[in-house]
Amino acid sequence: MRTRRSLLDLDDLAVEEFAEIFARTTAFERGEIEKRLQGVACVNLFFEPSTRTFTSFNLAELRLGADVVNLSPRDLSYMTKGESLEDTMVTLAAMGVTVVVVRHPEDGFPAKMALHFDGHVINAGDGTHAHPTQALLDLYTMLEEFGSLRGRTVVVVGDVLHSRVAHSLIVGLHRLDAQAILVGPEALVPTSYERDGVRVERDLSAILPSADAVLLLRIQRERFTQMPISDDEYVARYRLDAARLGLLRESAIVMHPGPYNRGIELDESVLRFPGWRYSRQVLHGLGVRMAVLDLLVTGT
Ligand code: NCD
């Protein structure tokens, strides 16, 4: 079907639309808000836990004047009564639902929904595949800092392999002409990422002096059967702590998509570091999601 635009990954956006989304984000954050989605019905459907992404999509929809339904997966007939995904989507569209925001543990689940939906599907994170609005808010946070990302070096640390955030961000950094360097052990950052035009490094301390921005990742334990590296070894080699912060340039910033695990990928000194931008990221999540909803639904 796919008669209306969905956002499944950043590839669904033309490069000039990035700029459009960022300009709208700024406008929304400045309070130049019109209720541009008045009467538009949005369903949020999260099959996995979420604090930031769920709340900010919800607030974004409400601030745009949309009608919002938060559907719990356990209440779906699809989950318990044998209704197919196709029939679920046809049913929602028949009711006039225009937007479905979905998070799901399976790669490609939002794309399957979009195939059967006469409306917009927004991917709020699918498996290890993609998390496009997170990448957009991370890019926006860096743009706020640096103006342009051309030629900037962004170091992504940790469990890249299982991170949909990292996978979408790599696409976005490439589009904006920034250099991505992935750092972590082979089991979490396989050398095969070099095929995507990114650098892979193993020694965090050696790479930190060249970073404009550092994005730390959570070890996605829920996606492992057996941890390939002990916590002690991970901490010794990859935790950002006071000593490693001292290797950064003064202008460098540190980010994390959240949720972060204190003591594992970072210690308390990171939370006091002047370049720690976590709260800016969370804040921009709201504006970016308003901008994405607005662009997809109004098309103008
Ligand atoms: C992430 C996610 O769920 O993909 N969080 C987020 O959306 N901000 C990252 C994670 O769970 O580690």
pTM of the model: 0.96
pLDDT of residue 8: 98
Structural domains counted in the chain: 2
Neighbours of 146 (CB within 10 A): 16
Strand order of the β-sheet with 67-71 is 67-71, 41-46, 97-104, 120-126
Q: In this structure, are 170 and 122 located in the same domain?
A: no
Is residue 61 scored above 90 in pLDDT?
A: yes
Closest by alpha carbon to 251, among 127, 152, 130, 140?
152
Can you give the residue range of the structural domain that contains 198? 132-280
Q: What is the mean pLDDT of the chain?
A: 95
Q: What residues line ligand 1, using a CB cutoff of 6 Å?
A: 52-53, 125, 131, 134, 164-165, 218, 220, 257-258
Average of pLDDT values for 167-183?
97
What does the pLDDT look like over 96-152, one tens digit per residue?
999 999 999 999 999 999 999 999 999 999 999 999 999 999 999 999 999 999 999
Q: In this structure, are 154 and 101 located in the same domain?
A: no
14 CA from centroid of ligand 1 (Å): 24
Instruction: Identify the H or E element spanning 214.
Output: strand 213-216
42 CA from centroid of ligand 1 (Å): 22
Q: In this structure, are 88 and 138 located in the same domain?
A: no
- According to DSSP, the residues that pair with 157 across neighbouring strands are 183, 216
165 CA from centroid of ligand 1 (Å): 7
Place of tokens 């796919």: 2
pLDDT of residue 33: 79
Instruction: Return the HEC string of 226-292.
Output: CCCCCHHHHHHHHCECHHHHCCCCCCCEEECCCCCCECCCECHHHHHCCCECHHHHHHHHHHHHHHH
Q: In this structure, are 189 and 117 located in the same domain?
A: no
> Residue whose CA is closest, atom 7 of ligand 1?
53
Q: In this structure, are 223 and 163 located in the same domain?
A: yes
Average of pLDDT values for 280-286?
98
What does the pLDDT look like over 15-41, one tens digit per residue?
899 999 999 999 999 998 789 999 999
> Residue whose CA is closest, atom 11 of ligand 1?
259
Closest by alpha carbon to 277, among 178, 141, 152?
141
Place of tokens 């089991």: 187
| 4 domain residue, yes or no | no
258 CA from centroid of ligand 1 (Å): 6
Instruction: Identify the H or E element spanning 102.
Output: strand 97-104
pLDDT of residue 1: 47
pLDDT of residue 2: 46
Q: In this structure, are 85 and 101 located in the same domain?
A: yes
Give the dihedral of Cα atoms 104, 17, 254, 151; nearest 10 deg: 130
> Residue whose CA is closest, atom 8 of ligand 1?
257
